A = this chain, B = another copy of it.
Amino acid sequence: MALDGVRALVFDVFGTVVDWRSGVAREAAPFLARHGVGAADPAAFADAWRRRYQPAMEEVRSGRRAFTRLDVLHRENLEAVLPDFGIDPARVPAAELDELNLAWHWLDPWPDSVAGLTRLKTRYIIAPLSNGNIILMTDMAKSAGLPWDAILGAEVARAYKPSPEAYLRTAEVLAMRPDEVCLVAAHNGDLAAARRCGLRTAFVPRPTEHGPGQEKDLAPEEDWDVVAEDFLALARMLGA
């Protein structure tokens, strides 16, 4: 059996478990229309908002900024991206920006996510290891029906992936050796960082995460411990 000795599966979430691009576009569309830029492409808006994600976390990873949870970074990034779409954030009520910022809490899972996680949960502890913060992941789990055993991730570890502390502190909280924990992710870079920390690795491609023209993460780039086409296939391969 692949993953012998593994007791916990931890999951990347944005892209791996849920479809952030479609979800953010869906939540942004009425906002854009209300502010007179209904011709703007909501998916392009989602992409632009997301492009500010890694640079914002890099401020924390580099030590230039104290750990700050993702909801706060998303809110800052929202204000930064609105002018690119012709909207002055100073002219939008704060409550409306707060509500749009929650778009990341209400993302829909990929079609196989809930059924696959439900099966995997019978055999493993399952938890997010996401850069999303605890209430973001909790709201998402409640609305999407994700049956997590616990909410782990950056806010518990006080470190953003791919910093080693994000993976190592997660194993520490689980009271497990790193090789008893497997990261499931659609991103080769995330898996590579986890492997460097001694975690096991499972790759599940999500070829439309970035839309129809996606060019990256279509295939495994290392010999990951498991490669599965979706979460149901992963459950089958793991005997769950």
* Separation of A152 and B151 alpha carbons in the complex (Å): 8
Question: Are the C-beta atoms of B71 and A135 separated by less than 8 Å?
Answer: no
Task: Note all chain B residues with C-beta closer than 8 A to A133.
Answer: 173
**Is A125 located at the chain interface by the 8 A CB criterion?**
yes
Question: Are the C-beta atoms of A138 and B150 separated by less than 8 Å?
Answer: yes
- A134 and B173 in contact, given A142-B125, A150-B150 (Cβ under 8 angstroms): yes
* Separation of A151 and B173 alpha carbons in the complex (Å): 12
Task: Note all chain B residues with C-beta closer than 8 A to A141.
Answer: 149-150
Which among B71, B135, B150 is the interface contact of A134 at CB below 8 angstroms? B150
**Is A29 located at the chain interface by the 8 A CB criterion?**
no
Residues of A in contact with B, size category:
20 to 34
**Is A137 located at the chain interface by the 8 A CB criterion?**
yes
Task: Note all chain B residues with C-beta closer than 8 A to A152.
Answer: 134
Mark interface residues in A43-73 (1 if CB within 8 Å of B CB, else 0). 0000000000000000000000000000100
* Separation of A138 and B156 alpha carbons in the complex (Å): 14
Question: Are the C-beta atoms of B150 and A137 separated by less than 8 Å?
Answer: yes
Task: Note all chain B residues with C-beta closer than 8 A to A134.
Answer: 150, 152, 156, 173-174
Task: Note all chain B residues with C-beta closer than 8 A to A138.
Answer: 125, 127, 149-150, 174
Task: Note all chain B residues with C-beta closer than 8 A to A173.
Answer: 133-135, 155
**Is A175 located at the chain interface by the 8 A CB criterion?**
yes
Question: Are the C-beta atoms of B142 and A149 separated by less than 8 Å?
Answer: yes
Least Cβ–Cβ distance between A117 and chain B, in angstroms: 14
* Separation of A170 and B150 alpha carbons in the complex (Å): 15
Closest B residue to A141 using CB positions: B149
Closest B residue to A152 using CB positions: B134
* Separation of A135 and B170 alpha carbons in the complex (Å): 10
Task: Note all chain B residues with C-beta closer than 8 A to A155.
Answer: 173
What are 6 pairs between A and B in contact, CB < 8 Å?
A: A71-B175, A127-B138, A134-B150, A134-B173, A134-B174, A155-B173
Interface residues of A (CB under 8 A from B): 71, 125, 127, 133-135, 137-138, 141-142, 148-152, 155-156, 173-175
**Given A71-B175, A134-B152, A138-B150, 15 more pairs with CB closer than 8 A:** A125-B142, A127-B138, A134-B150, A134-B156, A134-B173, A134-B174, A135-B174, A138-B149, A138-B174, A141-B149, A141-B150, A149-B151, A150-B151, A151-B151, A156-B156
